[in-house]
A and B are shown apart, each in its own frame.
Chain A
Amino acid sequence: MIGDSTPQGQGHQTALTQIVADELGISMDDIAVNLETDTQKDNWSIAAGNYSCRFAPASASAAKEAAVKVRQKMTRIASSQMNVPAADLEFKDGWIQSQSNPDNRLEFRRIGGLAHWSPSSLPDDMEPAVRETAHWSGPELTPTTANDEINTSLAYGFAFDFCGVEIDPDTGRVIIDKYVTAHDCGTIINPGLAEGQIRGSFASAIGATLYEEFVYSGDGSFLSGTFADYLIATPTEAVDPVLVHTEQTPSPYTRLGAKGIGEGNQYTTPVCIANAVADALGRESIELPLVPSKVFEWIHAEEETPPPKQTVQQVKWDDSGTISSGGALQINADANSIWSVLVDPDRLARVFPGCRSLLLTSDNVYQGVVDLGVGPVSGTFDAFVELSDLDPPHTMTLTGKVIGPLGTSRGVGIIKMIDAGKSTKIEYSYQIGLSGTIASVGGRLISGAARVLINRFFAALVVEMNPDVSQDQKKHSWFSRFWSGRSRKP
Chain B
Amino acid sequence: MKPPPFDYHRAQTQDEAVNTLMDHGSDVRVMAGGQSLMAMLNMRLTQPKIILDISGIHELNYQTESSSYLSFGAGVTQAQALNNARVVNEVPLLGQALPYVGHMQTRNRGTICGSICHADPSSEIPLVLATLGGEIVVRSKTGQRVIPIQDFQIGLMTSARRPDELVVSARFPVARPEQRFSFSEIARRHGDFAIVAIAGCCDGKTTRIGVGGVADTPAVREWPCLEPDQIDDALNELAWDLGGYDDIHASARYRRELIRKLGRDQIERIQNDQD
Expressed in whole angstroms, the Cα–Cα distance for A444 and B43 within the complex equals: 14
Q: Which of A283-322 contact B (CB under 8 A)?
A: 291-293, 296-297, 300, 303, 305, 307-308, 311-312, 314-317
Contact (Cβ within 8 A) A481 B47: no
Q: Does B240 contact A (CB under 8 A)?
A: yes
Of A316, A377, A481, the residue contacting B246 (CB under 8 A) is A316
Using known A-B contacts A297-B253, A311-B241, determine if residue A452 contacts B246 with beta carbons closer than 8 Å: no
* B46 is an interface residue with CB less than 8 A from chain A: yes
CB of B243 closer than 8 Å to a CB of A: yes
Complex Cα gap A478–B214 (Å):
13
Top 10 nearest A-B pairs (CB, nearest first) are A375-B157, A485-B154, A317-B246, A293-B254, A293-B250, A376-B46, A307-B240, A448-B156, A170-B261, A447-B245
Which chain A residues lie closer than 8 Å to B160 at the CB level?
485, 488
Q: Is the Cβ of B241 less than 8 Å from the Cβ of A477?
A: yes
What is the minimal beta-carbon distance from A289 to any residue of chain B, in angstroms? 10
B240: chain A residues within 8 A (beta carbon): 307-308, 311
Min distance, Cβ A221 to any Cβ of chain B, angstroms: 11
Report the bound CA distance from A378 to B41 in whole Å: 11
Chain B residues near A377 (CB, 8 Å)?
Answer: 40, 45-46, 157
B-contacting residues of A (Cβ < 8 Å)? Answer: 170-173, 211, 213, 215, 223-224, 226, 228-229, 231, 233-234, 236-237, 291-293, 296-297, 300, 303, 305, 307-308, 311-312, 314-317, 374-379, 405-406, 437-438, 441-449, 451-452, 477-478, 481-482, 484-485, 488, 490
Residues of chain A within 8 A (CB-CB) of B232 are: 305
Contact B46 A452 (CB under 8 A): no
Nearest Cβ in chain B — how far from A184, in angstroms? 33
Residues in B with CB closer than 8 Å to A312 are 241, 243
Enumerate chain B residues within 8 angstroms of A226, measured Cβ to Cβ: 39, 43
Cα A436 to Cα B252 in complex, Å, equals 24
23 A-B interface contacts by CB (under 8 A) = A171-B186, A215-B248, A228-B39, A228-B192, A233-B189, A236-B190, A293-B250, A296-B254, A296-B257, A308-B236, A316-B252, A376-B40, A376-B45, A376-B157, A437-B44, A444-B249, A445-B157, A448-B121, A448-B245, A452-B155, A477-B215, A484-B151, A485-B155
Verify if B79 is at the interface (C-beta below 8 Å from A).
no
**A291 proximity list for chain B (CB < 8 A):** 188, 249-250
B84 at the interface (CB under 8 A from A): no
- Chain B residues with CB under 8 A of A374: 155-158
* Contact residues on B (Cβ < 8 Å of other chain), bracket: 35 or more
Point out the residues of chain A lying under 8 angstroms from B192, CB to CB.
Answer: 228, 231
Nearest CB to that of A379 among chain B residues? B47
Q: B37-55 CB contact bits vs A (8 Å, 1 = yes)?
A: 1011001111110000000
**Hey, which chain B residues are within 8 Å of A211, CB to CB?**
188-189
**Chain B, interface SS category:** loop
Docked CA distance A21–B189 (Å): 45
When the two chains form their complex, are residues A315 and B243 in contact, meaning their CB atoms are under 8 A apart?
yes
Q: How many A-B residue pairs have CB under 8 A?
A: 157
Q: Which of A292, A303, A375 is in CB contact (< 8 Å) with B253?
A: A303
User: Chain A contacts of B190 at CB under 8 A?
Assistant: 236-237
Contacts of B162 in A (CB 8 A): 490
Q: Which of B43-72 contact A (CB under 8 A)?
A: 43-48
Complex CA–CA separation, A379 to B250 (angstroms): 28
B167 to chain A, nearest CB (A): 14
- A292 in contact with B186 given A317-B247, A447-B245, A452-B155 (CB within 8 Å): yes
Q: Is B107 part of the contact surface with A, judged by Cβ < 8 Å?
A: no
Which chain A residue has the least Cβ–Cβ distance from B37?
A376
Which partner residue on chain B sits nearest A170 by CB separation? B261
Given contacts A229-B249, A292-B195, A296-B257, 11 further A-B contacts (CB under 8 A): A173-B186, A231-B188, A291-B250, A312-B241, A316-B246, A377-B40, A441-B43, A452-B155, A477-B215, A478-B216, A484-B151
User: With an 8 A cutoff between CB atoms, is B171 at the interface?
Assistant: no
A293 CA to B251 CA in the complex, in Å? 6
**CA A267 to CA B172, docked complex, whole Å:** 50
Least CB distance, A447 to chain B, in whole angstroms = 4
- How far does the Cβ of A94 sit from chain B's closest Cβ, in whole Å? 47
Q: Is B191 an interface residue (CB 8 A)?
A: yes
Which residues of B have CB within 8 Å of A376?
29, 37, 40, 45-46, 48, 118, 157
